[in-house]
Structure 1
Amino acid sequence: MSDLRGAFEVPPGGPYLLAHSVGALPRAARAGLETAVLAPWSGKGGDAWGDWLGAIDGFRDALAGLLGGTAADYCPQPNLSAGLFRLLSALPPEGERREILASDQSFASIGFALKGLEALGFRLRLLTVDPTAVETWAEAIGPQTAAVVAMHVHSNSSAVGPIAEIAALAREAGAIAIVDVAQSAGVLPLNLPTLGVDGAIGSCVKWLCGGPGAGWLWVSPTLCARAKPIEIGWFSHVDPFEFDIRDFRYAPDARRFWGGTPSVAPYALAAAAIGVIAGVGVEAVRAHNRALIARVSERTNGRWFDPDRSGFGGTICIAAEGSNPSLTAIGAKFDRRGDQLRLSFHVYNTADEADRVAEALARV
C-alpha cells in the first residue's frame, strides 16, 4: 500500500498514526472541493445551488455504495450527536417504555446528547460493565427499554461490540437499536441493513479521511416511515422549494431529518474522500492495517498487541502512563484516551514506519 501514500497529503514529520482521530487529507478531496463548491460559486453565484445540492446527493450515493442500503436511507448531519438527537426525538417515549440504554464507554458526546433527551421524557441508563459481552445487554434490555445505542468499535479500547446480537435483543423487547460506527466505517467492512439495527450514526473525519463536518444518519425505511422529527426546516420538507409556510409535509425518506439550509463544503470534501477509500476497498484497508500491526507485534515479541486477537477495530490501544518520549523522538503523531495510548495505521502508512514504531515501543 506504500504506493498509495502519494494520494494523501500526509502531515510532515514522523509516522502519522491518527486515523482514529483525523485521517490524512486525500488529494482528491481538495480537487473535489474546487469542482463541486468553489467553481460553481465563482461562476454562478446564487445559481450554484443546483451544483451544490448535486454534490450532497453525491455524498449520499457514496455512503450507500460503501456502507449499504440506498442513498434515500442517508441524511447529512453536522455531527453524530445531532443525528442521534434528531432520530430519537422523532420517536417520543410511550407509556413506561422510556429508558435509553448505552455504555459508559461510549464517546462522551453521545452520552451528552442522550442526557438531553430526558427533557422529552426519556431516561438515560449507562451500563458500567463490559459492553462487548452480549450478556451485558441481555440483562439490561427489557420492557422499559425504548432504545439501545451501542458503539461498533469503542474509541478507548478498539474493542468491537456484538451489534447484530444487541439489535436482535432490542427487537425482541420491542425497542429500537442504533449503532455508532464512527470508529469502524472505512476500516471494517460494513453493510448497515444486514446488521439488524434501526439506525446508524457516523462521521467522515476518521478512517474515511473526509474531514470535519460531514456527519450522517442512516435510518431503516421501516423506522423512517414512522419517525416525526421535531427539529425540522425547509430541507426536511417533501419539496423544499415550495415555500408555503402553512403547509409542511415530511420528506418521504431520511431527508426528513435534514433541517434547515445545509452546509455543502464538508460533504463535497467527504464524497471525494469516500471515493478514494472505496477505490482502495475497505477489505484492503483492513488488511494493510493488520499487516502493519503484525509487524509491530512481531518486532516487539507480542509485548504490546496481539494482531491475531479477534474483535478489535483498527487502533492499537496500549495501557501506558507517562509521556512516551521514544515515540515522540521519532516524530510520531499519536494521542491518548485516559490511560490508553492510541496508534492507528492507514493505507498511507508504510512498513518502514511500522518498524520505526516497533523500535520506539521496544524502548518503552
Structure 2
Amino acid sequence: MLTREALLNRDAADPLRSFRDRFDLPDGMVYLDGNSLGALPKDTAARLADVVAREWGQDLITSWNKNGWYELPLTLGNKLGRLIGAAEGQVAIADSTSINLFKVLAAAIALRPGRKVIISDSGNFPTDLYMAQGLTTFLGGVDLLVVDETEVAQSLNENVAAVFLTEVNYRSGRKHDMAALTQKIHEVGALAIWDLAHSAGAFPVHLDAAGADFAVGCGYKYLNGGPGAPAFLYIAKRHQHQAMPILSGWMGHAAPFLFDLDYRPADGMRRALAGTPAILSMRALEVGIDLMLEADLSALAAKSTALTEVFMRLVEQECPGVFGNVTPADPARRGSQVCLTHAQGYAIVQALIARKVIPDFRAPDILRFGFAPLYVGFADLWDAVAHLKAIMDSGEWKESRFAARGSVT
C-alpha cells in the first residue's frame, strides 16, 4: 500500500529533485498540467528583462549580429536537437506547430510525386488533421485517410506518400512505437512525420535512430517556453536539399539581404524558415531548453515512468471503481500523462482546480493529468489523489459553480 511518507522518501532520493527549485511554482499548488502549459523557470524573467533592456533597448538593431538574433532559430534548434535525438543542422525553431506541419507535410508530398494518399490516425491532435485537410484541399488530387491508431501499419500501401502521427495521444497518453512504425512506413516507400508536442522534454526522443523523416513540436509544454512559445521542426539531413519550402519567406532565402526579387532557397535548415523570428519568445524558450539540458535524460525517462505508474496505483487504491483509465499500463506504450474517464469529468476537474490541484479536461469525458519530471514530485501525486478522493466522497463536484464552462478546458 502506498503512503505519503513512502512517497516523500522517494522525493528525497530523486536525482532530479533539485530542479523543482528552479521553477516559480505557486505555494500550495499541485500543478499537473505541464503537458498543456509548462511552469515558469525562475531564470526566465531576468533573461527577458536583459533582452529587453540591453539587447533591444541598448543594442537595438545591431543585436541581429552582435547578440546572435539572426542565427538564433538554428543555434537554438541545435540545442533542442540534443533532447530529441537529432544531430546538429536538422532542427530549426520557428512559427507554430500547425504552420510547421503544413511546411513538412507539403515537402513530403512533393518528395513522393504520383502518390495520392496521406495517412493519420484518429488519435492525432485536431490541429494536425485540420492543417492536412486544408493542404489537401489546396493541392487537389491528394486524399487524407484517417484510421484508428491501432490500424496505421495495416493501412500502408505503395500509394501512400506520407504518414503523420503524434507520438503520444493527447487524450489517452498512448505512445506509438516510433522506430517500428517508421520502419513499416519506409517499407512501402512513404515518409514518416512525427508530432512531438507531448514528447519533447517529457522523455528522451530518438529521431535519428528511429529513421524519422520529418518532425514538429511546440515549445510551451514540457519545454517550459511560455504561452505561445515558438515551435520547432526537424528535417532529416538526407531530405534537406530536395525539400522545397511551400512557405518561401525571406528568412529562408539563400541571401535575404541581397533583396532579390526571386526566391532561392537557402541550404540546410535555414530554408525551413519564413518570416522574421520572434526573438523575445525564443529567448524565453532558450531558458527552458537550457534548463532541460542540465538534466540526466535517462533519469528523466525513469521518473516519467515512475510518476505515471504511482499515480495510477494511487487512484486505484484511494478511488477504487470510480474512474476509468484509458492510459496504457505498459510503460513503453505511454507518455508522461494519465487520462482518467468519468461522465462528469469537467465538473470534477473544476473542483480540483478550486482546491489548487491543476489538471485539465478533454472532451467528452477525460480528466488529464500531466507529469513534468523536472518539477512534479511523488508527494504531489498523493496530495492530488487525496483531493480527488475528497471531492468524490463528498459529492463536492456537484456544486453548480463547477458546471459552468470556460472557453478553455
Counterparts in 2 of 1:47 and 1:215: CA distance versus 1, 3 Å: same
Query: Which amino acid in the other structure matches residue 146 of structure 2?
Result: L
Deviations 1:145-202 (A, max 9, x none): 1110011101000000122222112211111110111101111211211111100001
In the TM superposition, residue 342 of structure 1 has moved relative to its aligned partner by 0.6
- 332, 341, 346: which one pairs with 2:367? 341
238, 261, 265: which one pairs with 2:254? 238
Match of 1:76 in 2: 93
5+ long unaligned stretches in structure 1: none
Which of 97, 120, 126 is matched with 2:115 structurally?
97
- Does residue 1:120 correspond to 2:139, yes or no? yes
Counterpart-to-counterpart distance in 1, 2:172 and 2:186: 27
| Deviation, structure 1 residue 307 | 8.8
Q: Percent identity?
A: 27
Residue number among 288, 302, 306 corresponding to 1:273 in the alignment: 288
The answer to whether the 8 Å contact 2:32/2:359 transfers is yes
**Contact persistence 2:112–2:190 (CA under 8 A):** no
Task: Tell me if structure 2 keeps the 8 A contact 1:297–1:358.
Answer: no
Distance 1:319 1:301, change over 3 A: closer
Given residue 238 of structure 1, which amino acid in structure 2 is its aligned partner? A
Distance 2:53 2:129 in 1: 37
CA RMSD, aligned part only?
2.2
Deviation, structure 1 residue 113: 0.5
Contact 1:297 1:307 in 2 (8 A): no
- Between 289-298 and 102-111, the greater mean CA deviation after superposition: 289-298
- Cα deviation for residue 21 of structure 1 reads 0.1
Shift of 1:224: 1.6
Structure 1 stretch 2-11 or stretch 169-178: which is displaced more?
2-11
Summarize the Cα distance change of 1:218–1:93 in structure 2 as closer, same or farther, 3 Å threshold. closer
What SS does the aligned partner of 1:40 have?
helix
Q: How does 1:221-236 map to 2 (within 5 A)?
A: 221-236=237-252
Task: After TM superposition, list the pairs within 5 Å mapping 1:157-196 onto structure 2.
Answer: 157-196=172-211
Supply the AA of the counterpart residue of 1:317: C
- Name which structure has the greater RCO, CA cutoff 8 Å, separation 6+: 1
Higher mean C-alpha deviation, range 92-101 or range 256-265: 92-101
Partner of 1:39: 54
Q: In the superposition, relative to structure 1, how do residues 326 and 261 fare at CA in structure 2: closer, same or farther (>3 Å)? A: closer
- C-alpha change, 1:293 and 1:220, in structure 2 (3 Å) is closer
Task: Indicate how the Cα distance of structure 1 residues 250 and 103 shifts in structure 2: closer, same or farther if over 3 A, else same.
Answer: same
Q: Tell me, which stretches of 5 or more residues in structure 2 are unaligned?
A: 1-15, 393-409
Looking at structure 1, the residues matched to 276 and 19 of structure 2 have their Cα atoms a distance apart, in angstroms, of: 36
**Structure-to-structure mapping, 1:300-311, within 5 angstroms:** 300-301=315-316, 303=320, 309-310=330-331, 311=333
Q: Aligned-pair distance for 1:12?
A: 4.8
Separation in structure 2 between the aligned mates of residue 274 and residue 213 of structure 1, nearest angstrom: 12
Deviation at 1:241, TM superposition (A): 2.1
TM-superposed deviation, 1:341: 0.4
Normalised by the size of structure 2, how large is the TM-score? 0.81
Matched, 1:354 2:381: yes
8 Å contact kept, 2:218–2:230: yes
State which of 258, 262, 274 in structure 2 corresponds to 1:259. 274
- 1:317-364 deviations in Å (ceiling 9; x for gaps): 101222116634532111111111011222222333211112123343
Q: CA deviation at 1:41?
A: 0.9
TM-score by length of 1: 0.91
